[in-house]
Amino acid sequence: MSYTLDRKMPPAPADVSGPKPLDGGWGWMVVFGAHISIGFAYSTPKALSIFFKEIQEDLGASYSEIAWISSIMLAVMYAGGPVSSMLVSRFGSRPVVMMGGLMCGVSMVTASFGSSIVYLYLCIGIIGGWGLCFNLNASLTIISKYFLAKRPLANGLAMAGSPVFLCFLAPVNQFLLGHYGWRGSLLILGGMMLNCCVAGALMRPVAQPCDPRACAPPQEVKQTNNTKSSGSCMKNVKTFVDLSFFKDQGFIIYLVGNVMFIFGAYAPIVFLSAYAISLGVEEYSAAYLLSIMGFVDMFVRPGTGLIANSKWIRPRIQYLFSFAMVFNGTFHLLCPLMTTYTLLVAYAVFFGVGFGMVFALIFECLMDLMGSQRFPSAVGLVTIIECFPMLLGPPAAGFLVDIFGDYKYLFFMCGGVITTGGLFLFVMNVYNYNRLDRASRGDDAEQNQNTTENQEQVSSSEAQMELMDPEAKETNTAQLDPEDRQETG
């Protein structure tokens, strides 16, 4: 596939409405930076649990009080999405990621001097959570700015940071704990998280920063009631809590499917080793299951990115996503049948595959739906909504275990919810794309700029954009039509 940039005419300098994706070159350094950044974001809340026992003994708190640290961190990381989106659109990714890295470092360093649980909630949970939130959001955004043709691969590689860092941080944390105790370990961990600043430095800005005259992140243009081509930066604030996203059918479908996935995704991870132990597996072997899962995940994510990038799959990436979800859910449903250790290992492997596939595609699909201009605010909205199932999922599953005294109901619930979500996505996407295709064929006469190449590659999303807002030409296809914009804008 060849995306020739800018075939029609050079963009007017004052009106660079969007970046031309580079799809290579420095972009790979950006992917590396995003890899580090996302890696820390996802793996830190989990890796911190290694310190919990010591902190618990030292501060005299109960296990559930300590476990709240991770939960608060995850909650803030997801809930801070919209704010992070706003900052990214205002300042670009680089300052936000560097700020995030700095906040994470500061949070860990200050936490190392803590002497009460509430202090740790504040430092690690809130400040650390904010830092990670900035990291996550900004990294995803900059990938969407740097890549288009190879975006699924870039996403897969960047998201692979999560299992890689988890595999790396877990033994490192153990080592640090043995040598320096939890305080020293938090101090050093804070230092390591400052490397996110390095990752941020790699994220060279692409679009120009917001200046009053041409402060036109095309969210402005997207507002149906806004025909002005530029506006003050304050107006941007409104657009990021923009509820107009909810008018977008594709977005709603994606959101529902995602919520269902997140609800069921984390509980099996939390309870897998407990389940294995209840079957009589030895403690270390049970913990090993999760390492297997993480290890498989590490390779599946870039692999899925590569597959999703292929000519066959790319236009149908939403279907691949729903397939991945169904795959994941099915194995959860089968888990209660796995009663021996070998079968559990097999389950862990397939779990890793399914999990990796879904997570490699989860943001890629959103980028595909929204396009790189709307993505920053969309991702903020998605993460804050996903906060709820993420926090509710594991306790709900634990509640089931407590009532029935049997782990299989947990797996049935999680598998059922995820599979239903996947099937829902699949069916609704088929319906939605058919509807959009019919609509776009009707609009075709007006759109004489659309080449067959466009239709081939990303016809569904483009058609969707056109349907939503004929003013805005989505840069999804890397084909800018500033001419068009000037005509209609």
Partner 1 sequence: MQQPHRRRDRLTQRTEERTTMTAAWRQLPVLILLILAPCRTVSSKSVDPTTQPLVSIASQPTDTRSVVLQESVDQTTQTLVSIAPQPTDTRSFVLKGDTTFKNVELLNPVNLSLECVWTGSQNKQPSITGYWRKDGAEVQDSRVTVNLKEQQYNLTKVFSIASEENLGNYTCVFGNEFEMYFILGAPQMGEIRDKPIVSYVGDIVVLICKMDEKKPKPNTWTWYKFNGTDREEISAATDPHRYLTINDGWKTKLKVKNVSEADSGLYHCGAVYNISTSMTHVELKVITIMEPLKPFISILIEVIILVAAILIYERSRSKKKEAEANGPNAEPKNAQPQTEDNGGEKSSSVRQRKA
Q: Could you tell me if 167 and 42 are in contact, meaning their C-beta atoms sit under 8 angstroms apart?
A: no
Helix (H) or strand (E) holding 254: helix 249-278
- Which span (123-131, 204-212, 235-243, 383-391) binds partner 1, by CB under 8 A? 204-212
Site for partner 1 in 102-161 (CB under 8 A): 109
Query: To the nearest whole angstrom, how small is the minimum distance from the Cβ of residue 269 to partner 1?
Result: 8
Does the footprint of partner 1 cover residue 285 (CB under 8 A)?
no
For position 283 contacting partner 1 by CB under 8 A, the verdict is yes
| Cα distance between residue 395 and residue 392, in whole Å | 6
Tokens at 28, concatenated: 């790979």
CB nearer to partner 1: give 7 or 311: 7
The only residue of 286, 300, 367, 468 in contact with partner 1, by rule CB under 8 A: 286
- Indicate whether 16 belongs to the interface with partner 1 (CB under 8 A): yes
Q: How far apart are CA 267 and CA 398, in angstroms?
A: 8
Judged by phi (left if over 0) then psi (alpha if -120 to 50, else beta), residue 203 lies in beta
Task: Supply 418's token pair.
Answer: 């995820």
Among 5, 118, 427, 430, binds partner 1 (CB under 8 A): 5
DSSP assigned state of 281:
-
288 lines the binding site for partner 1 (CB under 8 A): no
| Piece of 13-21, 151-159, 333-341, 446-454 that binds partner 1 (CB under 8 A) | 13-21
- Taking CB under 8 A as the rule, does residue 210 contact partner 1? no
Q: Least distance to partner 1 from the beta carbon of 226, Å? A: 25
Q: What DSSP state is assigned to residue 340?
A: S
- CB-facing half-sphere around the CA of 248: CA atoms within 13 A: 25
Q: Which of 83, 126, 204, 388 binds partner 1 (CB under 8 A)?
A: 204
Residue closer to partner 1 (CB basis): 227 or 486 = 486
Q: Which amino acid is at 25?
A: G
Please state, as a whole number, how many other Cβ atoms lie within 10 Å of the Cβ of residue 245: 18
Toward partner 1, which CB reaches closer, 102 or 467? 102
- Taking a C-beta distance cutoff of 8 angstroms, is the pair 35, 161 a contact? yes
280 binds partner 1 per the rule CB under 8 A: no
Helices (H) and strands (E) in the chain, counts: 19, 0
Binding mask 69-98 for partner 1 (x = CB under 8 A): -x---------------------------x
Smallest CA-to-CA distance from 143 within 161, 166, 169, 167 is with 161
Give yes or no for residue 183 binding partner 1 (CB under 8 A).
Answer: yes
* Strand, coil or helix: 73: helix
Q: Do the beta carbons of residue 157 and residue 301 sit within 8 Å?
A: yes
Tokens encoding 95: 């300052």
Looking at residues 235 to 274 of the shown chain, list those that interact with partner 1 (rule: CB under 8 A): 269-274
Chain residues that interact with partner 1, rule: CB under 8 A: 4-7, 10-11, 13, 16, 19-20, 22, 24-26, 46, 49-50, 52-53, 57-58, 63, 70, 98, 109, 177-181, 183-185, 187-188, 190-192, 194-195, 197-198, 201-202, 204-206, 208, 269-274, 283, 286-287, 290
